[in-house]
């Protein structure tokens, strides 16, 4: 897992961070778990990583082991109440711009002119200090999500293996195309990641078929890696550990290891 991601960065030779956003307007599909897995996996690969939590629920910090304390949040940085470097918190795995419930309404107050670029402008001073930035987004297509798309190089769409997860992907497609059309022409959808996947069930196989059709519509693919159910995924944050440290033998954790390897190879091919 770690070698491939490290090699990607060396081959790129970039001075600016590569930004990956994890997004789906539906909740409960594994956005935060996937964001945390990417951030910790990259960190364990020796990369310097910044996690950005744009979900007002603030779960990314919890998954990364950020202790509850009085600290600045991403909203403080967006509103200019604190320089971005002062708002960044440290965890055992990576740095993070944490979030809380005030973000849901506060971002509208922070945004005036160039409201879709406020995150891009906020992150600009530290873009040369990180190898990767991983952005976790809210379960909605709102101003926060558009800001994430505007600053990102790549987009990953996690999708649970159930029929309800297919609802709303057409609107997501429209949002992606709108951002590509003006705010960020370089935005590339790396792929759709199926979570809670069980290849033995007819439902999972049917969802996979539909997901492949949807992927074609947005000029992307369904990742070969699929994430199975695993209790370790839910237990790890409560123990303050990453999924890779908590139970590396878990089937779901092994799936995430394979997924990160696949991401490394995909990015390499895109950048080559």
Residue 257's H or E segment, with its range, is: helix 251-271
pLDDT, tens only, 235-256: 998 888 899 999 999 999 999 9
Top pLDDT among 112 and 216 is at 216
Nearby residues of 99 by Cβ (< 8 Å), 6 or more positions away: 53, 54, 55, 56, 57, 58, 60, 61, 73, 74, 75
Orientation of helix 251-271 relative to helix 2-12, angle to 10°: 20
Task: Answer whether residue 175 shows pLDDT above 50.
Answer: yes
User: What pLDDT does 265 receive?
Assistant: 84
User: What pLDDT does 111 receive?
Assistant: 60
User: What pLDDT does 27 receive?
Assistant: 86
pLDDT, tens only, 176-190: 999 999 999 999 999
Task: Answer whether residue 17 shows pLDDT above 90.
Answer: yes
Sorting pLDDT into bands at 50, 70 and 90, what band is 272? Answer: low
pLDDT, tens only, 154-163: 999 999 988 7
User: What pLDDT does 172 receive?
Assistant: 85
User: What pLDDT does 266 receive?
Assistant: 83
Phi-psi region of 196 (alpha: psi -120 to 50; beta: other; left: phi over 0): left
């Amino acid at each position: 897992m770690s070698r491939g991601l490290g090699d990607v960065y060396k081959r790129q030779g970039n001075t600016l961070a590569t930004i990956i956003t994890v997004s789906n307007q539906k909740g409960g599909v594994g956005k935060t778990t996937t964001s945390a897995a990417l951030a910790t996996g990259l960190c364990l690969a020796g990369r310097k990583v910044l996690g950005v939590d744009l979900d007002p629920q603030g779960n990314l910090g919890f998954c990364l082991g950020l202790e509850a304390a009085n600290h600045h949040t991403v909203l403080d940085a967006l509103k200019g109440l604190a320089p971005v470097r002062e708002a960044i918190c440290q965890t055992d795995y990576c740095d993070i711009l944490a979030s809380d419930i005030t973000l849901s309404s506060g971002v509208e107050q922070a945004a005036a002119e160039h409201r879709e670029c406020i995150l891009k402008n906020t992150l600009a001073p530290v873009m040369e200090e990180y190898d990767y930035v991983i952005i976790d987004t809210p379960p909605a297509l709102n101003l926060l999500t558009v800001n994430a798309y505007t600053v990102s190089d790549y987009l990953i769409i996690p999708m649970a293996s159930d029929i309800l997860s297919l609802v709303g992907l057409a609107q997501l497609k429209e949002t992606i195309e709108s951002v590509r059309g003006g705010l960020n022409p370089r935005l590339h959808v790396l792929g759709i990641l199926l979570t809670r996947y069980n290849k033995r069930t007819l439902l999972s196989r049917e969802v996979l078929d539909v997901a492949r059709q949807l992927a074609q519509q947005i000029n992307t693919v369904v990742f070969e890696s699929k994430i199975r159910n695993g209790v370790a995924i839910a237990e790890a944050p409560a123990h303050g550990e990453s999924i890779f440290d908590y139970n590396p033998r878990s089937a779901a954790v092994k799936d995430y290891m394979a997924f990160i390897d696949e991401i490394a190879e995909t990015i390499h091919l895109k950048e080559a």
